[in-house]
Structure 1
Amino acid sequence: MFEEASEVFDNMFKSSFPLTFIVFIPAVLILVSPLPAEAAHEFTVYRMQQYDLQGQPYGTRNAILNTEARSVEAEVLSRRCVIMRLIDFSYEKYQKALRQSAGAVVIILPKNMSTMPQDIVQQFMELEPEMLATETIVPVYFALEDDELLSIYTQTLTSSPTQGTATAAEVLLHTATANGFQMVTSGAQSKAVSDWAITSLEGRLAGVGGEDLPTIVLVAHYDAFGVAPWLSYGADSNGSGVSMLLELARLFSRLYTYKRTHAGYNLLFFVSGGGKFNYQGTKRWLEDNLDHTDSSLLQDNVAFVLCLDTLGNGDGLHLHVSKPPKEGTPQHALLRELETVVSSQYPEVKFSMVHKKINLADDTLAWEHERFGIRRLPAFTLSHLASHRLAQRSSIMDVRPTVDMRRLSRNTKVVAEALARVIYNLTEKVNSEGAPEDLQIFTEQMQVQEEQLSSVVDWLTAQPRAAQLLDKDSSVVSTLEHQLGRYLKDVKRHYVKADKRDPEFVFYDQLKQTMNAYRVKPAIFDLLLAFCIAAYLGVMYLAIQNFGVLYGVIRRVTQPKTKTH
């Protein structure tokens, strides 16, 4: 029987090799078929800043990604998507990816930033300006951690061959058999956004007692900034400043409602846009009021401009000035009243004046009051930060928990009391011992409402407020306009668009995209699989072609030996 089968198979396969292929390929596919493919994981990614300021490009220049994932510990990162978690992030690792011409960098952030250790948060905040200092071709994305994304990161970390692997053969085998992920973005290449309008808002409370009244200007910029626009919530910088400005508008609008407390000062409130982009909204507003009109409260008799910036934390208050105020001026009066209120009511607060000259050689101004100082208007900025270089002012880590409502309420009370003492000329009031009298104006029904401050900060931090995301139709702008309209008169909008020939700023789109992670085998796996299939088919073909010989060998091996007598 075996001899007959041998002849049949031998004749069949010798006469028709394609038949051999048809018979054995299904068996091969069954043997080497991989596990069922998992569905792609889809998640949202937020691209690093891309903008031009005064002709200088910043941030990433690319928005397209279609490459295989690797951990930063891998030896070769060229044309790979480097994935790293924030807890493992360092500037050296980031630079390593850029130096090796990585295809992209994806940094995984925790969903709740406040859960991160403070030293890691501080380190990343200090690195954000470094990442944005120069442009890079490599697209850089941020993603919020979830279980699937964490699993992708863990598997990528496990499958990435490193320098610690023992031999080249092990590296080859590891590379061929490891599971990988192909990272693909669904968006298009980024392009400049044309005719983007930055919106600013103003409102006023008119004083009583004549037309030529001194004007006090209160300013706060409302936009936020960080390494990624869609993650820039700006709770302290400058949600706290805007919240304080609205509360001051509420308090003084009530005082200006009654004839007895209607003061002889005009109060001008300005909520500026583009503050994080060298105060473009303030720059255009000053040009419109000082150069292009004959009727403006800024034309003459400005007592001072007080800018509110980053006031939601800390036990210090710093009045930043470009030129120290002279005695006898309203600016000096405010400085003295701030000192008086702090020392008499809040001795735990450390108040100081910080003098820094305007450096026009810098690409960006340090504080918003410098925009007014350039136009020779007396101005200063109040902040709990002692320096404009501190990282809290421009970080995606500036989220809602960074604002201490008790401290913000206290700082609002300090500013309100000091302003009232200047406006109502209470500076000369002294007690029986000759010391300045400890007057408190905002008490009982007129006290600062911490709940109001908190609700405004909650609302402002409920959505990202990067300037690239807030057009003239945004809900942030319309709601701010509505809030100002509740307390002030003549609320107006002011727009600034970049010059078409020599733009001061240029914004780009594709700042938020959808990324897909597809489970794939590396390219070398296909070569190895093809080699194995070819070897298998070759062995089977030779075995069939020589079936008679093989059969004879098997017979000799399996035939029982005969006993000899």
Structure 2
Amino acid sequence: MFEEASEVFDNMFKSSFPLTFIVFIPAVLILVSPLPAEASHEFTVYRMQQYDLQGQPYGTRNAILNTEARTVEAEVLSRRCVIMRLADFSYDKYQKALRQSAGAVVIILPRNMSAMPQDIVQQFMELEPEMLATETIVPVYFAMEDDELLSIYTQTLTSSSSQGSLSAAEVLLHTATANGFQMVTSGAQSKAVSDWAITSLEGRLAGVGGEDLPTIVVVAHYDSFGVAPWLSYGADSNGSGVSMLLELARLFSKLYTYKRTHAAYNLLFFLSGGGKFNYQGTKRWLEDNLDHTDSSLLQDNVAFVLCLDTLGNGDSLHLHVSKPPKEGTPQYSLLKELEAVITSQYPEVKFSMVHKKINLADDMLAWEHERFGIRRLPAFTLSHLPSHRLAQRSSIMDVRSVSPSSRHGAGEPPAGPHVDVKKLSRNTKLVAEALARVVYNLTEKVLTAFLKRFKQMTIIETQLSAVVDWLTAQPRAAQLVDKDSTVVSTLEYHLGRYLKDVKRHYVKADKRDPEFVFYDQLKQTMNAYRVKPAIFDLLLAVCIAAYLGMVYLAIQVSLSSAVMSLYS
């Protein structure tokens, strides 16, 4: 076969040069061209937050992407899709892309974020609020790393880095001949979601001994928050708080079924939605109970409101208050009982009260108890965090993590926030015991006998772990949890197992002056197409024109030679 082909080409060379030029050159170009590579790669991307809160826009305002890929090392980023890995991410690089009017930014995240080095995780958590505070029209996406995406990044990085060390002619030639990737999203432009409902849940345990009983309210918000809604799992904030609330509801529901331990306190449990959006669910719930109804436990004698937030780790507990409790009040009793339980049974735990006044001039409240404080209800928040400003409360790095020994060196903690079920169980036990001492007004004489019975109601550590695992198996950003969500229905089911009169409360933004506005297109499919740069088309057109011109001249010469031979 090859001998026959060579004989044909040999005859072509001998017979006619123009014919050889016209046929042989394209054939050679086809034969020597490299094997075609993978034409495209499809992967899922998660867009940065886009929402309005109290009329102030946050996050990215665009969702459409159709531009060529570059890394931040390239000299020119204008109208290019800048891709970067989390390990190489910095705020300066991110700002460089925005300043040069990049077409988009895609940040590649590792599959196992809990295995990232601590310094990288901490740096990114601190940058998340700054990224959201800067409104930008540049679409910003996050993608999970895979082999193909890593290959695209490596090739783009090589192409972008080499241009800085080349001459102008070499840059032009390299630009014209190098392979590139066109990044294209499949979705449409983002638009506001109308009539979105934030759902909250309440349930109660009625006390015994009279109608005018004091009420203790236990609160935890269940939604999560991070720079990208579809990557916000909120393991510690506030999966730990929800898990503790459900366990407290289980324990006290058992105590309230016995006549001898049926206390003279109403217990009201509230799982609020929209907690990460200035506690919108709690705000509307308070308005409904205090302003629009004549029969509510909140309108009666409220002993105190205990908010649970970020309790799944650490060896410290902080009781955050807007106003220090006065001696002789139920809230002061809880403070003292917490100190007593920790001192006698958990000496490794450092306990303190943190006093911070409510600053109504701030756009965002610091803690959930401040919503109750504004309505003059005694409230405080229990957390292992000493300050509301710590980044792990609102980060996509707040994910469920296994024990340190299985993924990390012995004694080395996992990177970023995580939930230690043993410490969550310990914190649940001490809160339950302190709360029981207040509810039953235990004296030293009956304390030992009662606690013996109470300790039979042990904390089920496996159940706490299962609830945290379930909560962190799905993103719980407020934009993703609607009234028909499995998150809401499952939480409602668990509350219904332990409590009475379980109800839903909905919050919809005011259409004339909305407190919050959510947007769609938060999760899309992106395609990376292997392409030549635009200048390659120009160069190819010039080459084709030159080739056709040479063919035309060859034909003209051949015809002229034929005509001259006829006349001669």
TM normalised by structure 2 equals 0.90
1:481 alignment partner, one of 485, 488, 492: 492
Identity %, equivalent residues: 87
Q: In the alignment, is the contact (CA less than 8 A) between 1:420 and 1:441 conserved in 2?
A: no
Is 2:514 aligned against 1:503? yes
1:405 has 2:421 as partner:
yes
2-side partners of 1:495 and 1:380: how far apart?
24
Q: Which amino acid in 2 is paired with 1:391? A: A
Question: 1:207–1:536: structure 2 CA closer, same or farther, 3 Å change rule?
Answer: same
> Closer, same or farther in 2 for the Cα pair 1:177/1:492, shift >3 Å?
same
After superposition, give the CA deviation of every residue in 1:420-442 in whole Å (9 maximum; x if it has no partner): 0111112x4279xxxx9898457
Q: Do the aligned residues in 2 keep the contact of 1:344 with 1:438 (CA within 8 Å)?
A: no
Q: Indicate the residue corresponding to 1:414 in structure 2.
A: 430
User: Which AA in structure 1 matches 2:139?
Assistant: P
1:520 lines up with 2:520 in the alignment: no
Residues of 1 paired with 2:285 and 2:432: CA distance? 25
By how many angstroms is 1:198 displaced? 0.3
Give the number of equivalent residue pairs: 534
Determine helix, strand or coil for the equivalent of 2:298.
coil
- Select the structure of larger CA radius of gyration: 1
SS at match of 2:165: coil
What is the deviation of 1:159? 1.4
Residue 522 and residue 6 in structure 1: after superposition, are their counterparts in 2 closer, same or farther (change >3 A)? closer
CA distance in 2, matches of 1:463, 1:7: 73
Distance 2:523 2:478 in 1: 14
> Do residues 529 (structure 1) and 540 (structure 2) align?
yes
SS of the aligned residue for 2:216 comes to: strand
Equivalent positions of 1:284-295 (< 5 A) are: 284-295=284-295
What is the CA distance between 1:463 and its match in structure 2?
A: 0.4
Query: Kindly tell me: are residues 429 and 445 of structure 1, through their superposed partners in 2, closer, same or farther at Cα, counting changes over 3 Å?
Result: closer
1:286 maps to amino acid: L
Structure 2 residue 444 is the aligned partner of structure 1 residue 429: yes
Residue 564 of structure 2: aligned partner: none
Could you tell me which residue of structure 1 aligns to residue 196 of structure 2? 196
Change (3 A) 1:442 1:319: farther
Native 8 Å contact 2:22 2:551 kept in 1 = no
Change (3 A) 1:255 1:443: closer
Distance in 2 (CA, whole Å) between partners of 1:227 and 1:440 is 45
Q: Secondary structure at the match of 2:385?
A: coil
Change (3 A) 1:41 1:532: same
1:147-167 deviations in Å (ceiling 9; x for gaps): 111111111111125563131
Residue 210 of structure 1 aligns with an amino acid whose one-letter code is G
Report the counterpart of residue 262 of structure 1 in structure 2.
Answer: 262
Deviation at 1:178, TM superposition (A): 1.1
**2:249 & 2:93 partners in 1: Cα distance?**
48
Which segment is superposed worse, 436-445 or 74-83?
Answer: 436-445
Pairing of 1:325-404 with structure 2 (within 5 A): 325-401=325-401, 402-404=418-420
Query: Kindly tell me: are residues 8 and 423 of structure 1, through their superposed partners in 2, closer, same or farther at Cα, counting changes over 3 Å?
Result: closer
Question: Aligned residue for 2:155?
Answer: 155
Change (3 A) 1:20 1:232: same
2:460 corresponds to? 449
Question: Per-residue CA shift, 1:253-283, capped at 9, x if unaligned?
Answer: 0000000000000000000000000000000
3-state SS in 2 of match to 1:269:
strand
How far off its partner does 1:476 sit? 0.4
Q: What's the CA shift string for 1:166-218, capped at 9, x where partnerless?
A: 31112112211211000000000000000000000000000010000000000
Helix, strand or coil: the match of 1:246?
helix
Alpha-carbon displacement from aligned partner over 1:312-362 (angstroms, at most 9, x marks no partner): 001100000000000000010000000001111000100000000000000
User: 1:480 aligns to what SS in structure 2?
Assistant: helix
C-alpha separation between the residues in 2 aligned to 1:151 and 1:262? 64
Q: What is aligned with 2:165?
A: 165
Whole-Å Cα distance in 1 between the matches of residues 478 and 492 of structure 2? Answer: 16
Deviation at 1:35, TM superposition (A): 3.8
Deviating more after overlay: 479-488 vs 438-447: 438-447
Q: Counterpart in 2 of 1:299?
A: 299
For 2:300 and 2:218, locate their aligned partners in 1 and report how far apart those are by CA, in whole Å: 16
> Which 5+ residue runs of structure 2 have no aligned equivalent?
1-11, 402-417, 562-568
Matches of 1:63 and 1:351, distance apart in 2: 46
* Structure 1: gaps spanning 5 or more residues: 14-18, 551-565
Matched, 1:469 2:484: no
The one-letter code sitting in structure 1 at the alignment partner of 2:435 is: L
The residue type equivalent to 1:206 in the other structure is A
Equivalent-residue separation in structure 1 for 2:156 and 2:258 (angstroms): 68
**2:421 partner amino acid:** M
**Superposition RMSD on alpha carbons, in Å?**
2.4
Distance 1:146 1:84 in 2: 14
Contact 1:321–1:379 under 8 Å retained in 2 = yes
Matched-pair contact (CA < 8 Å) for 2:78–2:103:
yes
CA drift of 1:28 comes to 7.4
Question: In the alignment, is the contact (CA less than 8 A) between 1:318 and 1:386 conserved in 2?
Answer: yes
8 Å CA contact 2:13–2:20 kept in 1: the answer is: no
CA distance in 2, matches of 1:119, 1:437: 47
Deviations 1:18-75 (A, max 9, x none): x999757854763785642523110000000000000000000000000000011100
What is the distance in 2 between the residues matched to 1:392 and 1:249? Answer: 27
State the alpha-carbon separation in 1 of the partners of residues 429 and 13 from structure 2. 102
Q: 1:111 corresponds to which residue?
A: 111
Aligned residue identity for 1:411: N
